[in-house]
Amino acid sequence: MAASNPRQAEVSRKTNETEISVTVDLDGGGRSEISTGVGFFDHMLDQLSRHSLIDMKVSAIGDLHIDDHHTVEDCGIAIGQAIARALGDRRGITRYASLDLAMDEALTRAAVDVSGRPFLVWQVTFPSAKIGTFDTELVREFFQALAQNAGITLHVTNLYGGNSHHIAETCFKAVARVLRAALSPDPRQFNVIPSSKGTLNG
């Protein structure tokens, strides 16, 4: 699939609040170049790329003098749009995946359906409002924007954990791993859209 039809895309998005450029290669090796101006978020996007094996370049300039919200949300929008473009008609993908991911005391479950129908179920509570200077509520905002714009159904549940950094990191790593599995080519349906409807674009 990758050799004959490269699953790559580029998205540029500019508003009065942010200016963002994203490139993705769904058949990469997990290499990333991330610069958003938000240190913790850069770390999480690096984990998303590394564990999904999606090569990802993200450059963002945002109104960080206000707060991190617009930058984080708009990166989710742009990354989601890039993934959707790179997928094309979603022919030959595995489509479904789920995983429990552990990190020290934290355990998070993620499940995805690359369905063309965006939906987020978010059952994650953080014990603190911030990780350093980063607002923990922005983790959900990122995944909401990602799911909506990538056209995926995404369920994320933190089963337990006591450290906000660990909880956030398990969310990003778990989502990365299910994307890695669900976006992978299915060798038994190499050129087939995995839907009885014949479409995964809504």
Q: Rounded to whole angstroms, how far apart are CA atoms 147 and 133?
A: 25
- Which residues are 23's β-sheet partners? 10, 57
Is the per-residue pLDDT at 53 higher than 60?
yes
Residues 141-146, mean pLDDT to the nearest whole number: 98
> Of 13, 14, 171, nearest to 23 (Cα)?
13
Q: Rounded to whole angstroms, how far apart are CA atoms 131 and 20?
A: 24
- Which residues are 119's β-sheet partners? 153
- How do 8-14 and 18-25 pair as beta strands? antiparallel
Higher pLDDT among residues 189 and 195, named by residue: 189
Q: Give the whole-number percent of the chain exceeding pLDDT 90.
A: 84
- Which residues are 156's β-sheet partners? 110, 122
Q: What 3-state class would DSSP assign to 87?
A: helix
CB 96 within 8 A of CB 182: yes
> Of 76, 72, 67, nearest to 138 (Cα)?
72
pLDDT, position 3: 42
Domain 8-183 bears CATH identifier 3.30.230.40 = yes
Cα Dmax for the chain? 51
* pTM, entire model: 0.94
Mean pLDDT, rounded, of the chain: 93
CB 202 within 8 A of CB 91: no
Confidence of residue 188 (pLDDT cuts 50, 70, 90): confident
Residues 29-55, mean pLDDT to the nearest whole number: 98
Is the per-residue pLDDT at 22 higher than 50?
yes
- Supply 124's token pair: 């994650």
> Of 83, 99, 84, nearest to 178 (Cα)?
99
Confidence of residue 12 (pLDDT cuts 50, 70, 90): very high
Is the per-residue pLDDT at 195 higher than 90?
no
Question: What are the domain boundaries of the chain?
Answer: 8-183
Confidence of residue 1 (pLDDT cuts 50, 70, 90): very low
| Phi-psi category of residue 18: left, alpha or beta, with phi > 0 → left and psi -120 to 50 → alpha | beta
